[in-house]
Amino acid sequence: MADPVELAVLGGGGRLGQELKRQRPEDVLALTRRDCDILDVDSVRDALHDYLPELVIHAAGYTDLPWIETHPEETWACHVEGTLNVVRACREHGIPVMYVSSDYVFSGRKNGGLYSEAEFADPLSTYGRSKLISETIIRTLYPTPYFIIRTTMKDREWRHKRAPADMWISPLLREDCARLLLSFADGAVRTDHFVPFGLYHIGGVRTNVLD
């Protein structure tokens, strides 16, 4: 058994996982798929048993939206079945979990304004549906405290060749999102910084994607 860690990030090889590690290298253990395969519940159990984190940040999953829409079975396996495995293992060890969800759980058909946590989720895409089902798994099957964080992230430079003119988002820079996630995490593991568990939306200024 390794030394216990404060925060274990599933999906630690991704851009968000690496940013969390960069900001808090002494507290964050970034677990890649090789370290912890969420498609294998025994792999998750073994990783949690070895490191005994105070909180698990579940950031594993696909983010390439065009690929996801043409690979629904792989997406379902990773997002839904993988989250179920994470929930089972965390429940067995009594470890709180933070799930990084998405604004894609909403259709975007709301006429102006921002979505609140109390509003009905109505995803249109494979990605959004898989994230919402994963949220439901955590909320209904997980008796230990949890965070569900709905957000959207962006890089400092737009990485795509085109952008829709009629799409509005409230994005955070990846480093700002990581900073906020760590603040929520501190609320779970540190006595001097309490944050109630539950569902939260975090985002930046509402803007047109074309801008």
Give the pLDDT confidence of 28-67 residue by residue, as tens digits: 999 999 999 999 999 999 999 999 999 999 999 998 989 9
- Kindly tell me if the per-residue pLDDT of 187 is higher than 90: no
Confidence of residue 102 (pLDDT cuts 50, 70, 90): very high
- What are the φ and ψ backbone dihedral angles of 39, each rounded to 5 degrees? -75, -10
**DSSP alpha helices (H): ranges in 77-208?**
82-93, 126-141, 174-189
What single-letter DSSP state applies at residue 103?
G
Band of pLDDT at residue 3, cut at 50, 70 and 90: low
Please report the pLDDT score of residue 188 as a whole number: 76
Q: Give the mean pLDDT of 160-179.
A: 69
Mean pLDDT, rounded, of the chain:
86
Geometric angle at alpha carbon 57, from 190 and 51, rounded to 5°: 75
Q: Tell me the HSE value of 47 on the side-chain side, using a 13 A CA sphere.
A: 28
In percent, the amount of the chain with pLDDT more than 70 equals 82
Cβ proximity of 30 and 59 under 8 Å:
no
Six-digit token string for 115: 């979505």
